[in-house]
Every structure is written in C-alpha cells, then in structure tokens.
Amino acid sequence: MSDNRPFAAFTRAAELREAFDRSFAEPLPPGPPSLVDLLAIRVGAEPYALRLGDIAGLHADRKVTPVPGGVRTLLGVAGFRGAVVPVYDLQLLLGDLPVETVRWLAMAADEPVAFAFAAQEGQLRVAPEAIIVQRSDSLSRAHVREFVDISGAMRPIIDLSSVLETVRRQMPANLNPGGG
C-alpha cells in the first residue's frame, strides 16, 4: 500500500488557501440591522424621546443661574466644562406651561445650548421600523416630526434642530450667532 497522507495534506492546504482567497472576493454578508438610539424623557408629565445623536451630554441637578432678559423660554445659564451656556425650558418651547422643577439638562450636539426637562427615563434602542414619520398639526407638537412605537405605545421624538431654530429666532440679533 502506498501512503497518500502527504498528498492529502497538500490537497487540503490548497483547498483552504482557495477558500481563504475566495472569502475576500465575495461580498460581506449583511450585518445586524442598524438600531436607533433614543433617550426617553418626561417633559412635564408627558413622555418624549430625544435622539442620542442630537445631544452632547446629559446632566442632573446642575445649577441654573437666572439672567435678566426678555426671552421667556430662557431659564438662565449653567456651566459645562468651563463654558457658560444658555439653558432653555423645553416644556415652554413645546408650547406648555413653564417647568416648576428642573432636574435634567441635555446639551445640544450642534450648538452650545442646554434644554431643561423634568425626568429622564432611560435609553431606548429600537429598529428603524419602530420610528414613524408623521407631521403634527398641534401647536404643542410643533417640534415633533417622528414618533417611536414602544410595544404599542407611541412616544413623540423631539426634533432638536427645530427647537434650536425657535431658540435662534427668540435671541436678540446682537447675541444670535446665526445673525437673526
């Protein structure tokens, strides 16, 4: 009998080399579906959500110092990492009565501005299909463009870019970095 083991090892090595090379030529298999990260919050007694990509930070129990001025939604200023930023009442910006107690501040990712709200309820990670795009005609939902379906309960998602636009329009022209 002849010993075919060396020949079999060479054949197996060639098969493995070919499979390895072929793996680089084939398209990658689809990865896990991308998920949307949200922060569940309460503005007053109402549930809302913020996209995590829209905020740069979340802070609890930060002192807000009132400032004089004619902007009703401006609660004052607060310090964040050596910078003093304006803090706006998210409840007033959404068209409701002013906040009585502020516990949480969310820093906007796009501008040095913070928004005050009553409570944060945790992080949500949902499939993109759970986000429903729907324009609201209601004045109190003026800054809501989307809703997230959490087990059949719809939670409005606040569009922070829309809220920031409202803040820019309320600023006196000499303080508005956008010019007006």
Residues 111-136 have pLDDT tens digits of 999 999 999 999 999 999 999 987 65
Rounded to 10 degrees, the C-alpha dihedral 110/113/48/166 comes to -90
| Block residue for tokens 């007694």 | 45
Helix (H/G/I), strand (E/B), else coil: 51: strand
Query: How far apart, in whole angstroms, are the C-alpha atoms of residue 126 and residue 134?
Result: 17
State residue 136's pLDDT score: 55
Asked whether residue 152 carries a pLDDT value surpassing 90, the answer given is no
Residue 4 has pLDDT above 70, yes or no: no
Give me the amino acid identity at 43: V
Domain extents for the chain?
36-170
Q: Tens of pLDDT along 46-97?
A: 899 999 999 999 999 999 999 987 788 999 999 988 889 999 999 999 887 7
CA torsion angle 28 53 57 76 (round to 10)? 170
One of 2.30.29.30, 2.120.10.30, 2.40.50.180, 2.60.40.420 is the CATH number of 36-170, namely: 2.40.50.180
Under 8 Å between Cβ of 115 and 30: no
pLDDT at 30 over 90: no
User: Does pTM surpass 0.85?
Assistant: no
